[in-house]
Every structure is written in C-alpha cells, then in structure tokens.
C-alpha cells in the first residue's frame, strides 16, 4: 500500500510517518519546503506543493492508495485578520487542490481520503457530551473554519472515495502543542488555570491518535470520528494532575476569563474552550486506547 501524507513534519504527521515506515508500507509526502524535494529515497518520495498558491506536483498521486491530509496553518498563533485568513484558506485550499487532482485522474487508484478536522466545530457547553451525530455547530471562528473544512470534502465523497474526517481533540505531546508550556510553568510553581477551571479539555495522547488514524484506515472506515480519549478532564484537574506528577503546588490564583479575553481577543476561545466530546464511536469499532486516564498519559509523557 502507498500512502500520500501532507503535514508530514507536523506533530501528528511525524508519528504517522513513523508507523507507515515501520510496517513497511510505501510513502509519498507533499511538502511546502523545497529542501526536502531532493531528499527522496527508497523509503519516501517527496513532492512540492503550495496550497495557498495553487501549486502541486501532479506526480504525487502515482500509485497512491490512501491520502492522509494533515496540513494547515497553526491554530495557536495570534489571530490577526491575516492569520485567520491563513488558518482557514490553508485548510480549505489544500483539500480543494488535492480534490481537483484526484477527480481529474484518468485511472483513479485512490481508495480513501483521510482529512484532519477538529472538535472545535462543537460549541463550548459542559452540559452536553458531543458525539459525531451532534447537530450543534459553534458559531465561533473555529466552528466556522471546521465546518468549511469538512464541507470541502463533499465532492470527494460523491466520487465514491471513502472519506474519513478526523475531529481531533487536544493532542498531548512534549514535542508540540499546549502540554509542554503548561508542564514547564507548573513544574516551576507558575501553573494555574483559567476562570473557575471547570471548562473541559477533551484530550488524546499522541501515540493513541496516530494509532487510531491507522486503525481506521486499515479497517476501511469512512465518515466522521472524534479522536479524543474516553475521559475528558476539566482544566483545573488537568493542571493539578501535572503538579501532582512534579510534586509541586499551584500557588498562583486562577486567571479571570475577562483578562484572557482582553489580552487575546477572539483567540480566547482556544484557551477557555469547554467541550466534553465522546469517543464511543471509535471504541465501538474496536479501537483500544493505551492511555485512557490522564494520569497514565502524563506519566508517559513527562518522564
């Protein structure tokens, strides 16, 4: 089997590539960095693309069975008008560019199109456990971005290719994301939470997310899947669990939501988001999480 992966140098992409190569599958990678293009080897074929400019090497689809699209401008950056445009367009344009190439193939070999998405599509509401069938869509910037992101895949679905949409939660890793800065602050007695600390984080260990994606591909699944652990925790307990691991105390008062909103503006929805998201659909398909509880996940990542 040959995979084509975009976003291969990102947090999740690196883990996916590691699994693909370890099990002996063939791999092609689309990269926006030209320095990789001359590094093609027996293991990986690199191809250049630039979604925002509409540029893509058409040869990237040669012999490809499955596309895993993980590309997108980082969410965790200051949300100026320019960066918000980049966050949206980098996601939608990447799908549109791949879609155009796929649908124009004379001999279509692609069996599955896997596209990253996000639980940011769900509103902040701790009284609802969101499933893949939930009709609630957040009216926030994140919600609208994910809605358009997923909608860009529709014509691929209509062409009889299995489309898998991955609504990804808070990914825990010490190589990127929010865990490392929170852990460093908490270790040095500078940890705290936001507001009353009751807002829920629907998290997932980096190993579990990579393995769950490959699991869904191997089992030829399609449709929407929430990729989160079975046990979301509120932000206060999230920080306290880290403090417990480091045997430190949280001595800084919690930061009021008003202050967060004042300094971060619309981006504050990233920080004080409040979502309890269900992974029951993924579990019902037979996937077994290695890290079900936050404690065991942190013990593995913080060691």
| Whole-number pLDDT of residue 181 | 95
Number of Cα atoms under 13 Å in the Cβ half of residue 221:
22
Token couple for 159: 């062409």
Q: Give the tens place of pLDDT for each residue, 220-267.
A: 999 999 999 999 999 999 999 999 999 999 999 999 999 998 888 888
Q: Is the domain defined by 2-172+202-229+278-290 classed in CATH 3.40.50.2300?
A: no
* 182 pLDDT tier (thresholds 50, 70, 90): very high
Tokens of 165: 């949409």
Q: What is the pLDDT of residue 76?
A: 83
Q: For the full predicted model, state whether its pTM sits above 0.85.
A: yes
Percent of the residues in the chain that have a pLDDT greater than 70, as a whole number: 100
Q: What is the band of 300 on the pLDDT scale with cuts at 50, 70, 90?
A: very high
Residue range 80-123, pLDDT digits in tens = 999 999 999 999 999 999 999 999 887 888 999 999 999 999 99
* pLDDT of the residue at 108: 81
Please indicate whether residue 271 or residue 233 has the higher confidence score (pLDDT): 233
What is the SS3 string spanning the chain? CEEEEECCCCHHHHHHHHHHHHCCCEEEEEECCHHHHHHCCCCEEEEEEECCCCEECHHHHCCCCEEEECCCCCCCCCCCHHHHHHHHHHHHHHHHHHHHHHHCCCCCCCCEEEEEEEHHHCCCEEEEEECCCCCCCCCCHHHHHHHHHHHCCHHHHCCCCEEEEEEECEEECCCCCCHHHHHHHHHCCCCCCECCCCCEECEEEHHHHHHHHHHHHHCCCCEEEEECCCCCEEHHHHHHHHHHHHCCCCCCCCECHHHHHHHHHHHHHHHCCCEEECCHHHHHCCCCCCCCCHHHHHHHHCC
pLDDT the model gives residue 219: 97
- pLDDT at residue number 267: 87
Per-residue pLDDT of 20-37, as tens digits, reads 999 999 999 999 998 888
Domain ranges for the chain: 2-172+202-229+278-290
What pLDDT band is residue 39 in, cutting at 50, 70 and 90? confident
**pLDDT tier at 167, thresholds 50, 70, 90:** very high
pLDDT at 241: 98
Q: What is the pLDDT of residue 262?
A: 87
Residue 102 is predicted with a pLDDT of: 94
User: Taking 90 as the threshold, does the pLDDT of residue 42 lie above it?
Assistant: no
pLDDT value for 37: 84
Check whether 287 has a pLDDT greater than 90.
Answer: yes
For the chain, the average pLDDT equals 94
Least confident window among 1-10, 57-66, 99-108: 99-108
Phi, psi of 271 (to 5 degrees): -85, -40
């Amino acid at each position: 089997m040959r995979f084509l992966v975009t976003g291969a140098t990102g947090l999740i992409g690196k883990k996916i590539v590691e699994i693909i190569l370890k099990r002996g599958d063939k791999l092609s990678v689309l990269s926006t960095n030209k320095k990789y293009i001359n590094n093609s080897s027996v293991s990986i074929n690199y191809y250049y693309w630039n979604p925002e400019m509409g540029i893509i090497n058409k040869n990237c689809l040669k012999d490809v069975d499955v596309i895993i699209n993980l590309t997108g401008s980082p969410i965790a950056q200051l949300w100026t008008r320019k960066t918000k445009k980049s966050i949206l367009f980098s996601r939608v344009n990447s799908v549109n560019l791949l879609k155009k190439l796929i649908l124009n193939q004379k001999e279509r070999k692609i069996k599955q199109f896997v596209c990253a998405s996000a639980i940011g599509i769900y509103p902040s509401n701790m009284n609802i456990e969101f499933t893949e069938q939930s009709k609630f869509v957040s009216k926030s910037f994140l919600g609208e971005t994910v809605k358009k992101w997923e909608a860009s895949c529709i014509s691929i679905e209509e062409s009889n290719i299995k489309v898998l949409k991955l609504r990804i939660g808070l990914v825990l890793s010490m190589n990127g994301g929010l865990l490392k800065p929170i852990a460093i602050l908490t270790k040095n007695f500078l940890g705290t939470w936001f507001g009353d600390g009751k807002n829920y984080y629907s998290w997932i260990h980096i190993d579990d997310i990579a393995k769950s994606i490959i699991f869904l591909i191997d089992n030829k699944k399609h449709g929407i899947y929430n990729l989160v652990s079975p046990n979301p925790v509120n932000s206060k307990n999230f920080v306290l669990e880290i403090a417990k691991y480091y045997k430190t105390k949280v001595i800084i008062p919690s930061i009021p939501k008003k202050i967060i909103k004042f300094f971060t503006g619309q981006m504050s929805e990233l920080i004080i988001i409040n979502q309890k998201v269900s992974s029951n659909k993924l579990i019902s398909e037979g996937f077994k999480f290695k890290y079900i509880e936050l404690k065991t996940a942190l013990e593995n990542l913080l060691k």
